[in-house]
Amino acid sequence: MEFRVRDILKLPSLKGAVVLSGEQYLHKIVAGSTIMEAPDITDWLKGGELILTSLYPIRFFDEEEQKQFIAKLAEKEVSALVIKTHRFVKEIPQSIIDEGEKCQLPIIQIPKDVPYVDILYPVMEEILNTQVKKLQYYKEIHDQFTALSLADESPEKIIATLEKLIGNPVALFDRNFFCIASTIPSLTNFEIVEKNYRFDKKEEMKFPHYRQTVKYLEQPEKIGHQIVVPIETINHIKTYLLIDEVNKPLEELDFIAVENAATSLSLELVKKFAVAEVDKRFKNDLLEQLIEGKLPANILYQNANLIGWDIEGAFAVVLFKIAKNNERLSTQQVKRGISNGNEETLLHEAIYKYVPNAIIGSKSGLKVVLWKINREDQDWLVKIKEKVATILHLVKKQDNEIITQVGIGTLSDHINNISESYKKAQDALEFGEILNGKESVTSYSELGVFRMLGQFTDSEELKTFIPPSLQRLLNYQQVNKTDLLTTLKVFLQCNQNATKASQLLFIHHKTAVYRIERIKEITGMNFDDAEEMLLVQIGLKIIELLEREKIHKY
């Protein structure tokens, strides 16, 4: 649709024109035309002009100055230089022709009897006609996509309309580059070979975009070229509009259609975000009432039906706690909502991708998932852990600095009893770090003695359960007290095998034996008394619990 240099040569007045240089660059777009009146014309050019001249203004230029002048015109992205020989300049210098070829600037000689107006008027007429056609097309496309937005049409309808307009398949991807919708699904399974962030002027539109070369996994021998338009909406949520140039390269009018489609999709995403926010608040309120056991059964089922929740059957609560930059968040920090941000969005999307039928919400800074369970499935806990591992892997892949801890509650046979599973998931989250580390996935059933210890809220009361023999070691004032405590813990974990304990502690066997003897001397422990050893192990767990609470206070 654009008016180009090659189109000028079709004008009746230019039948006798001769292309002296740059013949392979006649595709350049003509954006305007002007007559060169002075040698400093390059100071006023904007690019795309057709320059008409007799070379009179530069008749006194030497060869080097002529080359510099042509280079400046090319630098200003002039579309072509049209020269008419005059009585003062009877022949076009070869240096100008050679420099035009070198700088990829078409130079055209016209007969001296052709008036400039016979070129200027038709060129400007064609340019104006082109602009009018573009404006008309823009209005038609704009009206078409506006009608889709007003009719509240789906993203699928929008990309289907775009495909018809540009003659190429179109797809829509989410922020993790998972396909949301596509006009040809077979083309969405690809591997990116190269990205290119440079683009032609004809591709200019208000949405930034880039090109990428891809290899189709279903057709390994086929290489594809795609245009990707990131569409960012509220809360920096991105989607990607992807156009596959399988049928033809996109032209200027196609980019007008792409821009309008991107605008329409952006509006649609904003609407969806607003609706989702209201929906999320309602769901969170219902979820909070549900896990606190505050809602009568008839109201619960009525509200669940309104939002499409299937609450029949058995459930287990799974809690996700997020931290960032390797900083663990305490329960108090989580309750203040410190873990909100883009990481929460990434986690929500990952959960929804792999557990689409789960009931998902937020409470006290935690991501709460009511995980539906088959009562007959004895391996339900193993399967949850496997799915959680997949979710965490995806989150980590998106942002390596995110640290997520997970607590899994008990099985609740009925949704009305889900509050008990929620409390157990909280305990699993609280004590999971002690047992399994910062990025732990812990179920309540794995807590062991911590289930009992978690019932005590008074630290002083907990201390009374530390046996006297272990208390004597705690009161020991020598600098190696910590080494002795660590050795005792590992020794008991290894079923009182000093050799295994020394290997885990990276110390000599004799050193381990010596420390155990010192522990006996200081505490009077009888390692052959099973009941006493059980009390000592419980005491060690209490010490860990008290130390953890002390850290969280700070």
388 within some domain: yes
> In terms of domains, do 438 and 504 share one?
no
What distance lies between CA 374 and its chain's CA centroid? 34
- The answer to whether position 351 is within a domain reads no
* Number of domains within the chain: 4
Statement to judge: residues 102 and 198 lie in one domain: no
Same domain (yes/no): 200, 247:
yes
Asked if 443 and 506 sit in the same domain, the reply is no
Q: Are 536 and 467 in contact (CB under 8 A)?
A: yes
* Same-domain pairing of 119 and 12: yes
Of the residues 424, 447, 470, the one at which a domain ends: 447
pLDDT of residue 451: 67
Q: What is the DSSP letter of 220?
A: T
Which residues face 223 on adjacent strands? 215
Residues 266, 430: Cα–Cα separation, whole Å: 41
Position 243, amino acid: I
Instruction: Show the domain range for 365.
Output: 310-326+357-447
Q: Model-level pTM?
A: 0.48
CA dihedral angle for residue 445, residue 447, residue 450, residue 456, rounded to 10 degrees: -50
56 is a domain residue: yes
12 inside domain: yes
Of 137, 110, 105, 107, nearest to 122 by C-alpha is 110
**φ, ψ of residue 203 in degrees (nearest 5):** -95, 5
Tokens of 124: 């400007």
Question: 196-255, pLDDT tens digit by residue?
Answer: 876 655 556 677 888 899 888 877 778 889 999 988 776 566 789 999 998 998 888 888
How far apart CA 353 and CA 367 sit, in angstroms, is 15
Report pLDDT digits (tens) over 454-477. 666 567 777 887 888 888 888 888
What sign has the CA pseudo-torsion 321, 324, 326, 329? negative
- Answer yes or no: is 333 within a domain: no
Query: What six digits make up the tokens of 415?
Result: 């949704």
Could you give the 3-state DSSP secondary structure of residue 315?
strand
3-state secondary structure of 119: helix
Q: What is the pLDDT of residue 343?
A: 80
Positions of the chain with pLDDT under 50: 326-340, 552-554
* Kind plus residue range of the DSSP H or E element containing 466: none
What pLDDT is stored for residue 331 in this prediction? Answer: 44
User: Has residue 53 been placed in a domain?
Assistant: yes
Q: Do 479 and 414 share a structural domain? A: no
Closest of 76, 62, 74, 75 to residue 101, by C-alpha: 74
Examine the domain organization and report whether 422 and 512 are in the same domain: no
First vs last Cα of the chain: how many Å apart?
Answer: 69
Q: Measured between alpha carbons, how far is 250 from 228 in angstroms, rounded to an integer? A: 12
**Tell me, what's the pLDDT at 312?**
86
320 and 425 together in one domain: yes
- Say if residues 456 and 464 touch (Cβ distance below 8 Å): no
404, 424, 447 - which closes a domain: 447
Residues 403 and 350: beta-carbon distance below 8 Å: no
CATH at residue 85: 3.40.1390.20
Question: In Å, how far are 14, 16, 113, 123 from 9, measured between CA atoms?
Answer: 6, 9, 16, 11
Residue that terminates a domain, selected from 92, 111, 126 = 126
Per-residue pLDDT tens digits for 524-548: 999 988 888 888 888 887 887 777 6
Residues 545 and 427 grouped into a single domain: no
Q: Do 98 and 186 fall within a single domain?
A: no
**Cβ neighbour number for residue 470 with a 10 Å cutoff:** 23
Q: Is residue 298 part of a domain?
A: no
Residues 400 and 488 in one domain: no
What's the pLDDT at 332? 41
- Asked whether residue 44 falls in the same domain as residue 156, the answer is no
The DSSP symbol for 4 reads B
How many Å apart are CA 88 and CA 443, to the nearest integer? 95
Q: What is the CATH number of the domain that holds 477?
A: 1.10.10.2840
Residue 419 domain-assigned (yes or no) = yes
CA-wise closest residue to 56 among 36, 74, 79, 82: 36
